[in-house]
Amino acid sequence: MSHNRFGTEITTDDILEALAFFDTWEDRYKYIIDLGKELPPMDATLKTEAHLVRGCQSQVWLVEHKDGERYFFEADSDAFIVKGLLGVVLAAYNGKSADEIRQFDIDAYFGQLNLLKHLSPTRGNGLQAMVKRIQALAA
């Protein structure tokens, strides 16, 4: 299992701060795409039907690992922007306990990012599908 830096070294506060720094959405998209490049590559053997996240326009795979009480996630997508969005989501949830995952106000976080209104409806639905999958795992 390869550990990614989201949620441990790259936090929601880091992402909020970085996105606030950019003046245009074009620059914010570039930053989000760059975040996706921080995700370690997922082993091809994990890219199975069982790990596919339903409701995403692109192919998205999400695999959870538990270490004690903490959840760690491996994630990948065939789309650069979606890999970045996975990073945005994992910053909130990776390395957290089930209670922390349940208690995190993802809607407020997305609201602060002002992200959903700048994504296509299908991308926004995919983002919500990723969140629902992680929340279901922690339920």
**Is the pLDDT at 2 greater than 80, yes or no?**
no
Looking from the CA of 27 toward its CB, the CA atoms found within 13 Å total 7
Q: Is the pTM here over 0.85, yes or no?
A: yes
**Is the pLDDT at 50 greater than 80, yes or no?**
yes
List the catalytic residue out of 42, 56, 62, 86: 56
Q: How confident is the model at residue 96 (pLDDT cuts 50, 70, 90)?
A: very high
Q: How buried is residue 89: exposed, middle or buried, by Cβ count under 10 Å (0-12/13-18/19+)?
A: buried
- Centroid of chain to Cα 51: 15
Residue written as tokens 């720094």?
A: 21
**Is the pLDDT at 93 greater than 90, yes or no?**
yes
pLDDT digits (tens, 9 = 90+) for 25-40: 999 999 999 999 999 9
Catalytic site includes residue 137: no
- What mean pLDDT do residues 93-97 have? 96
**Is the pLDDT at 11 greater than 90, yes or no?**
yes
Produce one character per residue of 96-127: b if its CB has 16 or more CB atoms within 10 Å, e if not. Answer: beeebbeebebeebbeebebeeebeeebbebb
What's the whole-number average pLDDT of the chain?
92
pLDDT of residue 49: 95
Domains and CATH numbers, the chain: 12-138 (3.90.1010.10)
- What mean pLDDT do residues 9-15 have? 95
